[in-house]
Chain A
Amino acid sequence: MPKLIRGRVPTPERSVEERVRDFNEVNLGYTFELALKEAERCLQCPKEYAPCIKGCPVQIDIPGFIRALRVNKENPRKAVKEALGIIRANNALPAITGRVCPQEEQCEGVCVVGKVGDPINIGKLERFVADYAREHGIEDELLMEVVPNIRGNGKKVAVVGAGPAGLTCAAELAKMGYEVTIFEALHEPGGVLTYGIPEFRLPKEIVKKELEKVKKLGVKIETNVLVGKTITFEELREEFDAIFIGTGAGTPRIYPWPGVNLNGIYSANEFLTRINLMKAYKFPEYDTPIKVGRRVAVIGGGNTAMDAARSALRPGAEVWVLYRRTRKEMTAREEEIKHAEEEGVKFMFLVSPKRFIGDENGNLKAIELEKMELGEPDETGRRKPVPTGETFIAEFDTAIIAIGQTPNRTFLETVPNLKVDEKGRIVVDDNLMTSIPGVFAGGDAIRGEATVILAMGDGKKAAKTIHKYLSS
């Protein structure tokens, strides 16, 4: 039994002064030596008991991949190859999940070591394995062991949407021998990984590499195709043996506050799409403009709000996150809140916009905010914000609304027989099959708003049930 080490091996991060003016990645990740040191802290709970595995939405054998690092410590290449093999059995995109999963609520949140000290830094270890493997060609080696064994079965599956759910489903089906085509409306695949999550949290180079892997498995990705408009759903039904819908939750929720259409008020989706997909922060080298004013208000308390706030900070604005509850109820990851605070994002809690006030040119100049207090817990278990009636006016020239997304209705409206619930989410059974036989769905399209890993879990599960459906 190794001696319990309570403190985590910290991951190197770029200094605040350096990172706050560019979009490069903040966290630098472990070296092999540091990863090994952190891996040594793991108590190696037996697989059938290990809470971390149960806490992982896709049940990665976490003690197993950590052990692979430890037993091969003399040979980093071998260590990483073994570890990656173990992770890849359950998760096709570890470089991404290692960066964006809310590990503190999942695997790390239930880690036994966490009861007496810091939980094992599982996320950063996962990320290390994926990064080392990519940088040292190990990933390609593993892929080349898989690809020659793929035997086509003559059946075709269409995947709608190239986000985490669709990509995972497609990769799994391709490995089983299906001919898979993904249809993506934007000009670049990746979904939220591409348009939503900023470079400083998830470098686009990594997303590109992951996409290449999916393509190497034989998956075709057709961009610029909006299913329902470019190709009808009926045409897909005729051409393919099964369909997986992974259209995500891409419609921004815009509460109709008075003045919400003033200039300078963005949905978080627009703001982040301009920055991440269109590289507006490189204007005029890139043609897409963006205007970040002097004082920016970000409305919301989730990860998207943190991404928007930190993105707005980089061109030099003073950024405030306005949240109607308190820090305790924020849904953003602790690491993201911490990074935002370190970088200088300011927080105003227990406030909610009442109206947006414009100048004579229709530009935002101030927001009237209402003070809130916390009442009884609501259905999410968090105490509900209650208006106090007391208001004040704060000057802002830019606002970014990050109060959530709903499933993208553009596609759904073109499929009349598809059953959706009152929130616009596609209704599925235990096999993730929709109300239309042979049509499956997963990710945010069925969940509303969730995480990358849950979407990937759905994609993987759907691949299995699609296989079962098409084999029976």
Chain B
Amino acid sequence: MYKILEKREIAMRNTWYKIHAPHVAKKVQAGQFVIVRAFENGERIPLTPVMWDRDEGWIVLIVFTRGKTTMRMAMEMKEGDYLPDVVGPLGNPAPMERFGKVLAIGAYTGIVEVYPIARAWQKIGNDVTTLHVTFEPMIILKDHLERAVSRHIVEPVPLDPNLDLKENMRNVTKRLTEKVREMLEKEDYDLVFMVGPVGDQKAVFGIVKEFGIPMRVDLHPIMVDGSGMCGACRVTVGGQIKFACVDGPEFDAYQVDWDELIHRVGFYADMERKAMELYMAGLMSRGVV
């Protein structure tokens, strides 16, 4: 059992959990992830430790409220509660090399994965610029990143109440790609790294490719066990089947079969929506919301 030492909402739909998980804290490196099971009847969900303390034995997870499980965590869990399961660290650490001038991009809560990697890259002598594009009320880790890297750029996109979520998200993608193009035209980068929704990763890759710059991405296919046992997270990379959990999560953007991955991550979207609606209806009927 893993105690929640701290829990607070740090931005719209983004919750900060500081969790006592000494076995993970002791070993985790930038680029790795954990799998959390928050409830006895919950899912196993992959999340990224954003920061950690090896001596005190805690990790911080910043969780974006996306589906039923993350909504339940936000609604039902309190400081002092326990998560039944936190396993990790899983996946491979990000390569610690001197790439030179790096542009590390986080779309939405993808920035939480960028933070530890960008920080570590800067520490070993890279010149790292981070770019965070998200809806205005969802900006997170701004101060942390400003302290950690050469330059941190935030591109807030206003949430337009007259548009639906899809249209709003299209605005984020538009701003993201425009900004990346503008930055690549202005300056030379040796490497682009990006974490965020797979559609946005593909869109950014489309720009980076035009400039011929190397690009690496952390991928988030659907995952169950996270240790190479189920094969749910398989992605085609360089024409070969890879398991994101044990071969990744980082891959060469030029080798990824993006369309296949986009289809695969959406497989359960309708069921996830249904589960969320039922949960919300339950909360409403109990007068919680």
| Cβ-based interface call for A252 (8 A) | yes
Q: From DSSP, what is the main secondary structure of chain B's interface residues?
A: mixed
Are A226 and B87 neighbours in the complex by a CB distance under 8 Å? yes
**Cβ contacts under 8 Å, B44 to chain A:** 187, 278, 288
Are B228 and A410 neighbours in the complex by a CB distance under 8 Å? yes
The CA of A185 and the CA of B264, in the complex, are separated in Å by 25
Are A270 and B232 neighbours in the complex by a CB distance under 8 Å? yes
The CA of A256 and the CA of B85, in the complex, are separated in Å by 34
Are A230 and B23 neighbours in the complex by a CB distance under 8 Å? yes
Are B229 and A408 neighbours in the complex by a CB distance under 8 Å? yes
The CA of A469 and the CA of B68, in the complex, are separated in Å by 52
Are A270 and B230 neighbours in the complex by a CB distance under 8 Å? yes
**Cβ contacts under 8 Å, A226 to chain B:** 87-88, 90, 227
Interface string of B223-264 (1 = CB under 8 A from A): 011011111101110001100001000000000010110111
Known contacts A256-B241, A289-B271, A229 near B228 by CB under 8 Å: no
Give which listed residue, B85, B87, B263, contacts A263 with CB less than 8 A. Answer: B263
17 A-B pairs besides A261-B234, A286-B42 with CB distance below 8 A are A186-B227, A187-B44, A187-B87, A223-B87, A224-B87, A229-B27, A229-B32, A254-B231, A261-B264, A263-B263, A263-B267, A269-B230, A274-B224, A287-B39, A291-B271, A408-B229, A410-B228
Give which listed residue, A232, A263, A278, contacts B43 with CB less than 8 A. Answer: A278
Are A283 and B241 neighbours in the complex by a CB distance under 8 Å? no
Interface string of A248-275 (1 = CB under 8 A from B): 0011101010001111101101100110
The CA of A229 and the CA of B27, in the complex, are separated in Å by 7
Give which listed residue, B24, B69, B228, contacts A251 with CB less than 8 A. Answer: B228
**Cβ contacts under 8 Å, B263 to chain A:** 262-263, 361-363
Are A408 and B268 neighbours in the complex by a CB distance under 8 Å? no
Are B90 and A252 neighbours in the complex by a CB distance under 8 Å? no
**Cβ contacts under 8 Å, A266 to chain B:** 231-232
| Cβ-based interface call for A333 (8 A) | no
**Cβ contacts under 8 Å, B246 to chain A:** 409-410
> Please, how many residues of chain B have a CB less than 8 angstroms from a CB on the other chain?
49
Are B224 and A230 neighbours in the complex by a CB distance under 8 Å? no
Q: Whose C-beta in chain B lies nearest to the C-beta of A360?
A: B263
Q: Whose C-beta in chain B lies nearest to the C-beta of A362?
A: B263
> Please, how many residues of chain A have a CB less than 8 angstroms from a CB on the other chain?
45
Are A362 and B264 neighbours in the complex by a CB distance under 8 Å? yes
**Cβ contacts under 8 Å, A256 to chain B:** 240-241
Are B37 and A187 neighbours in the complex by a CB distance under 8 Å? yes
**Cβ contacts under 8 Å, B72 to chain A:** 287
Most B Cβ at <10 Å: residue of A232, A252, A254, A289: A289
19 contacts between A and B (CB under 8 A): A195-B229, A226-B87, A230-B88, A230-B89, A231-B27, A261-B260, A270-B231, A273-B224, A273-B225, A273-B230, A279-B41, A284-B275, A287-B39, A287-B42, A289-B271, A362-B260, A362-B263, A409-B228, A409-B246
| Cβ-based interface call for A225 (8 A) | yes
**Cβ contacts under 8 Å, A185 to chain B:** 87, 225, 227, 229
Give which listed residue, A186, A230, A269, A287, contacts B275 with CB less than 8 A. Answer: A287
| Cβ-based interface call for A285 (8 A) | yes
The CA of A115 and the CA of B180, in the complex, are separated in Å by 78
Known contacts A283-B271, A362-B259, A362-B264, A269 near B41 by CB under 8 Å: no
Give which listed residue, A231, A250, A270, A279, contacts B224 with CB less than 8 A. Answer: A270
Are B241 and A254 neighbours in the complex by a CB distance under 8 Å? yes
Are A286 and B229 neighbours in the complex by a CB distance under 8 Å? no
Are B260 and A269 neighbours in the complex by a CB distance under 8 Å? no
Q: From DSSP, what is the main secondary structure of chain A's interface residues?
A: loop
Minimum CB–CB distance for A134 against chain B, Å: 24
The CA of A387 and the CA of B88, in the complex, are separated in Å by 44
| Cβ-based interface call for B272 (8 A) | yes
| Cβ-based interface call for B278 (8 A) | yes
**Cβ contacts under 8 Å, A230 to chain B:** 23-24, 27, 87-89
Minimum CB–CB distance for B278 against chain A, Å: 6
Minimum CB–CB distance for A181 against chain B, Å: 13
Minimum CB–CB distance for B97 against chain A, Å: 21
Give which listed residue, B84, B231, B272, contacts A269 with CB less than 8 A. Answer: B231
**Cβ contacts under 8 Å, A279 to chain B:** 41
The CA of A224 and the CA of B85, in the complex, are separated in Å by 7
The CA of A180 and the CA of B263, in the complex, are separated in Å by 45
Most A Cβ at <10 Å: residue of B68, B86, B227, B257: B227
Minimum CB–CB distance for B231 against chain A, Å: 4
Minimum CB–CB distance for A339 against chain B, Å: 25
**Cβ contacts under 8 Å, B23 to chain A:** 224-225, 230-231
Are B85 and A187 neighbours in the complex by a CB distance under 8 Å? yes
Chain A, 441-468, CB within 8 A of any chain B CB: none
**Cβ contacts under 8 Å, B89 to chain A:** 229-230
**Cβ contacts under 8 Å, A278 to chain B:** 43-44, 224
The CA of A392 and the CA of B232, in the complex, are separated in Å by 28
| Cβ-based interface call for B274 (8 A) | yes
**Cβ contacts under 8 Å, A260 to chain B:** 241
Q: Whose C-beta in chain B lies nearest to the C-beta of A248?
A: B229
Interface string of A157-169 (1 = CB under 8 A from B): 0000000000000
Are A283 and B229 neighbours in the complex by a CB distance under 8 Å? no
The CA of A32 and the CA of B88, in the complex, are separated in Å by 47
- Give 6 closest A-B pairs by Cβ, nearest first: A362-B263, A267-B231, A224-B87, A270-B230, A289-B271, A187-B85
Q: Whose C-beta in chain B lies nearest to the C-beta of A185?
A: B227
Give which listed residue, A229, A291, A362, contacts B268 with CB less than 8 A. Answer: A291
Minimum CB–CB distance for B91 against chain A, Å: 9
Are B41 and A251 neighbours in the complex by a CB distance under 8 Å? no
Q: Whose C-beta in chain B lies nearest to the C-beta of A284?
A: B275
Q: Whose C-beta in chain B lies nearest to the C-beta of A232?
A: B27
Chain A, 272-309, CB within 8 A of any chain B CB: 273-274, 278-279, 282-289, 291
Chain B, 48-86, CB within 8 A of any chain A CB: 68-69, 72, 84-86
**Cβ contacts under 8 Å, B43 to chain A:** 278, 287-288
**Cβ contacts under 8 Å, B68 to chain A:** 284, 287
**Cβ contacts under 8 Å, B42 to chain A:** 286-287
The CA of A223 and the CA of B83, in the complex, are separated in Å by 13
Minimum CB–CB distance for A191 against chain B, Å: 10
Chain B, 159-199, CB within 8 A of any chain A CB: none
The CA of A225 and the CA of B2, in the complex, are separated in Å by 13
Give which listed residue, A224, A232, A285, contacts B41 with CB less than 8 A. Answer: A285
Minimum CB–CB distance for A270 against chain B, Å: 4
Minimum CB–CB distance for A254 against chain B, Å: 6
Most A Cβ at <10 Å: residue of B229, B232, B257: B229
